[in-house]
A and B are shown apart, each in its own frame.
Chain A
Amino acid sequence: DSGVTQTPKHLITATGQRVTLRCSPRSGDLSVYWYQQSLDQGLQFLIQYYNGEERAKGNILERFSAQQFPDLHSELNLSSLELGDSALYFCASSQRRGLPPDTQYFGPGTRLTVL
């Protein structure tokens, strides 16, 4: 168990809809990352938050957005869903305050199916 939790585990929805994926980082971790794993694109970085602020942006579509709340949990919002958004979405966390860069630990993922 990595200590990172993600809900829900599975999500099935229709095209055009909007969903929210939730992530709770390991206790004490300040950074949260979102990654997308699809068959054609592999594992791709979407966005990173550090202590509530956006730190880095990857291949994240404009239809997607994220935020990190004061309690450090994060949500990834996916809107106007398309069939191609079907994927496994991972959250990872790292970075204890005052410590050097460390390993990213991953949650179990949310499998999104868009029908």
Chain B
Amino acid sequence: AQKVTQAQTEISVVEKEDVTLDCVYETRDTTYYLFWYKQPPSGELVFLIRRNSFDEQNEISGRYSWNFQKSTSSFNFTITASQVVDSAVYFCALSEARPGNTPLVFGKGTRLSVIA
């Protein structure tokens, strides 16, 4: 069975600090997708990134970066120079990679509070 663990329930940082959100996953599949979604206070779920299991290259998008390490089954998310607008709940998710798409298995989420 697939499982996603986000051990950090809540994190609080001061604006401009860097913060890393941890995600550890379990799956028996050899190919799979990993995702991060953001849920701001308004409630919607916003897609941030998708990573294929055979692509271990790290990715950077502006202040956001992602570190995928298959050896430790981790897909961590770092926000550099955090801003108040980054305050949200962040979810890591996992799905099988097969035709027709498969449902997402979500972690419990990490609530990030960025204080001005």
Partner-B contacts on A (CB < 8 A):
2, 31, 33, 35, 42-45, 48, 50, 55-56, 58, 88, 90, 92, 94-95, 100-109, 111
Report how many A-B pairs have Cβ atoms within 8 Å.
67
B50 touches A103 (CB 8 A): yes
Indicate whether B105 reaches chain A with its CB closer than 8 angstroms: yes
**Which of B47, B97, B100 is close to A105, meaning CB atoms less than 8 Å apart?**
B47
B47 touches A103 (CB 8 A): yes
B45 touches A31 (CB 8 A): no
A104 touches B104 (CB 8 A): yes
B: interface residue count bin: 20 to 34
Q: Main SS of chain B's interface residues?
A: loop
**Which of A43, A56, A94, A107 is close to B106, meaning CB atoms less than 8 Å apart?**
A43
A101 touches B104 (CB 8 A): no
B44 touches A31 (CB 8 A): no
Nearest 4 interchain pairs by C-beta: A106-B45, A45-B103, A43-B106, A101-B101
A108 touches B109 (CB 8 A): no
**Interface hub of B47, B91, B104 (most chain A Cβ within 10 A):** B104
**Which of B97, B100, B108, B109 is close to A31, meaning CB atoms less than 8 Å apart?**
B100
